[in-house]
Amino acid sequence: MINKYRSNYCNEITEDYVDKEIRLAGFVENIRDHGGVIFVDLRDNKGSMQLVSNDDKVFDGLTRESSITVSGKIRKRNEEDYNDKLATGTIELVVENLQILGLAKNALPFEIITSKEVNEETRLTYRYLDLRNKKVKDNIILRSKVLQFLRNKMDKLDFIEVQTPIITASSPEGARDFIIPSRKFKGKFYALPQAPQIFKELLMVGGIDRYYQIAPCFRDEDCRADRTLEFYQLDFEMSYVTEEDVYKIGEDIFYDLFTNFSTREVSPKPFRRISYKEAMDKYGTDKPDLRNPLEIIDLTNEFANSEFKPFRDIVVKGIKVDDIASKSNSWFNEVVDYAKTLGMPGIGYIKVMDDYVFNGPIDKFLTDEERKSLIDKANLKVGSVLFFIADKEQAPKLAGKIRDELGRKLELINNNKFEFCIINDIPLFEYNEDEGKYDFCHNPFSMPKEGKKAFNNDKLDEILAMQFDFVCNGHEMSSGAVRNHDVELLKESFAKVGYDESVLKTKFKSLYEAFQYGVPPHAGMAPGIDRIIMLLQDETNLREVQAFPMSVSGQDYMMGCPSEIDEKSLREVHIKIR
C-alpha cells in the first residue's frame, strides 16, 4: 500500500530493504536519548520498527503515543544491538524526515503496554488508548477473522444472510427489554430485540428456509463476566429439519471454527450428548466442564435413616476424590472456607485410611453399615476422600460449585483442551419460587419432546422440550431448539403456565397470525460470538473481546452513558421523569 503517509507496514520490512528509502506511519511507543543518538520505537497496526537519528532536532517536540509519518533509509544494526523480540530486530530506519500528524499529551492516563492491568473504569474511559495495547487489539483482529470465517462457512452450507430489525416490538422472551419511547405515537414504545427469535421464525414461514445473520442482541439485565447488555450471536434457522440436523450443523461450525483458530485439542465430532437430568445429577450444572473428571454421587438414600440428623430428610450429594487423604489439614480447611463463601455452614468429609478406617469430622456419626454402604456406593479405596454436600433444595448446585473448586485446587483440568458437549432433554417448564408458579424454563417456543402427548402429564417439571445447549469448558456456547410450529400446541403450552390465548394474540401477534398460513417445521440455534472469542483468547470476561464495551455496572465511561436527557427531548417523546 502506497500513499503520502506510508509506503509499507513495519512487519513488511526485512533485510532485503537495506539501503532502500521507505516511509512508515504509526504511533511513537518509546523515546530513548543515548547522548547524541536518539532512538524511537514506532508501532503500527502490524509491527514495530526502531527509528534512529543523530540530530535531536528531528525528534524535537515529539511525545510518546503521538501519531507520525517518517521516511528514511533502512540500515543493518550492529550484531550486538539485535533485538530477538522484534521481527525487525536486525534493522532500523535512519530518519531523514519526520512529520507529527497528531501530538499526544505528555502525561498518558496509563502505560499502553500494561493497560490490561489498569482498573476497568480508567481503561474504558480511554478505551481508544487501551485498544493500542497489542493484546487488546489482537482480540478485535481475531473477532474480525472469526466473523469472516463464519460468513464463509454459512455460505458453503447454503444459508442466506438476512438482517432483521433492530427497532421492534417489546415481547416477553425471558429477559428485560430495552425500550424506546415513540415521538409520533404518544404513550407507545419500541424495543431493542433480545434476539431475532420471532423474525427468524417468520422467515421460515416466508420460505427463507436456511437463514443466518451475525445478530446484535440487547438485554437489560445485570452484567457479569460472561454477560453484557449488548452481545452478538451467529443466529441461524432451518426449515424441514430435525433436532439431529441442527446438532450436525452446530458440531460442524464449532469444530471447524475452534480447530482453525486454536492449536488446542478439540473434542471430536459427534459431541457427547448429556441429558439435562444427567448433567444436574453428575455435575450439578447444566453447563458442565467435562475437562474435570470428578462426578457427583447421590447419597440421599444412604442417609435416609441415619442417626446423623443434619443428613436426614434432606438431599445429600457426595464427591469422591482418590489419593488425596494425605493432604494437609490446612488444605482441607481451605475447602471448608470455600464452602462457607457459598453460604454453606462448611463441608463434611471422610478420609479412607489403612484397612478402610475412616477419618474426618463426619466419621464419628456413621454406623458400620453406613460406612460399608458408602464404600460400595462411592467405590472408596485407601487414600480416597469423600466430600458431603447436604441441602434441602440447593444440594446439586452447591455440589457443582464444590466440584469445580476441587478440580481447580487439584489441577485436574486440562487447559490445553476444548471439551464440547450437548445438553438436551431440557424441561419445558420450571417452578418459579419467587412467583410461586410454573413458567417456561427457557424458550417458550420450543416443541414438547412428545408433542401433544406431553401435556397428558400433570407434572409440569417432567415435560421435556426439544431444547438443547452446546457447552464448552463450563460455558454455554449456544442455545437452540426445534420450534413449536403448531398453534394449538402453542396455546396448550402457554395455558399450562397460566397464559390464555389472548396472551399469544397480543404479545406474539405476528407469530400467532403467521402460523395460520402453512408454517413448515423448523429449528435452529445461536452460537455466541463473544463467548467463542473469549474462549479462543483465554480471556476471563466478554468485555475483553468487544471493541467498546460497557462496564460491569452497565456504564459507558467514555461516552458518558447512560446520560440525562434534556426536558425538550423528553417532552417530544411524552416522557416525564418520576
Q: What's the rounded Cα separation, in Å, for the pair 93 and 12?
A: 13
**Residue 393's pLDDT is what?**
85
The mean predicted confidence, pLDDT, of the chain is 93
Q: What is the pLDDT of residues 236-245, one digit of tens each?
A: 999 999 999 9
Look at residue 513 and tell me whether its pLDDT is greater than 60.
yes
Checking if the pLDDT of 173 tops 80, the result is no
Q: Under DSSP, is residue 454 helix (H, G, I), strand (E, B) or coil? A: helix
Encode pLDDT of 182-221 as tens digits: 999 999 999 999 999 999 999 999 999 999 999 999 999 8
Cα separation, 256 vs 262, whole angstroms: 10
* DSSP state letters, 291-330: TS---EEE-TGGGTT-S-GGGTTSEEEEEEETT-TTS-HH
Q: What is the pLDDT of residue 171?
A: 79
Q: What is the pLDDT of residue 357?
A: 80
Residue 434 backbone phi and psi in degrees, to 5? -65, -40
Instruction: List, as one string, the DSSP characters of 333-349.
Output: HHHHHHHHHTT-S--EE
Cell (9 digits) for 217? 442482541
Query: Which pLDDT score is estimated for 335?
Result: 96
Residue with cell 442466506: 160
What is the bridge-based pairing of β-strands 348-352 and 189-191?
unpaired
Give pLDDT tens digits for 521-558. 999 999 999 999 999 999 999 999 999 999 999 999 99
pLDDT at position 451 is 87
Q: Measuring CA to CA, which residue among 227, 223, 237 is closest to residue 164?
A: 237
Cis peptide before 562, with omega less than 30 degrees from 0?
yes
To the nearest 10°, report the CA torsion of 381, 386, 392, 393.
Answer: -100
Q: Report the distance separating Cα 291 and Cα 413, nearest Å.
A: 5
In which band, very low, low, confident or very high, does the pLDDT at 455 lie, cut at 50, 70 and 90? confident
Q: Burial of 9 by CB count in 10 Å (0-12 exposed, 13-18 middle, 19+ buried)? A: middle
Is 164 a residue whose pLDDT tops 60?
yes
Q: Give Rg (Cα) of the chain.
A: 30
Q: What is the pLDDT of residues 95-122, one digit of tens each?
A: 999 999 999 999 999 999 999 999 999 9
Mean pLDDT of 422-437: 89
**Mean pLDDT (whole number) for 364-370:** 86
- pLDDT tens track for 34-74: 888 999 999 999 999 999 999 888 999 999 999 999 999 99
Antiparallel, parallel or unpaired: β 467-472 and 47-53:
unpaired
- Amino acid at residue number 86: L
pLDDT in tens, 460-500: 989 999 999 999 999 999 999 999 999 999 999 988 888 88
Cα–Cα distance between 122 and 546 in angstroms, integer?
A: 16
Residues near 577 by Cβ (< 8 Å), separated by ≥ 6?
Answer: 570
Distances, alpha carbon 126 to alpha carbons 122, 225, 518, 547, 556, in Å: 6, 20, 53, 12, 11
Residues 87-97 pLDDT 10s: 999 999 999 99
Cα–Cα distance measured from residue 193 to residue 78, given in angstroms and rounded to the nearest whole number:
60
> What is the rounded average pLDDT of the residues 331-356?
91
Supply 36's cell numbers. Answer: 547524541
Distance, in Å, from the CA atom of 525 to the CA atom of 527, rounded to the nearest integer, reads 7
Q: Tell me, what's the pLDDT at 558? A: 95
Q: What residues have CB less than 8 Å from 182, skipping those under 6 apart?
A: 188, 189, 190, 573
Residue 318 has pLDDT above 90, yes or no: yes
pLDDT in tens, 128-162: 999 999 999 999 999 999 999 999 999 999 999 99
- Residue 435: predicted pLDDT: 79
Q: How far apart are CA 415 and CA 538, in angstroms?
A: 9
Q: Is the pLDDT of residue 2 over 70?
A: no
pLDDT band at 174; cut points 50, 70, 90 = low
Which amino acid is residue 68, in one-letter code?
I
Contact 303, 370 (CB under 8 A): yes
d(CA 399, CA 338): 12
pLDDT at 401: 97
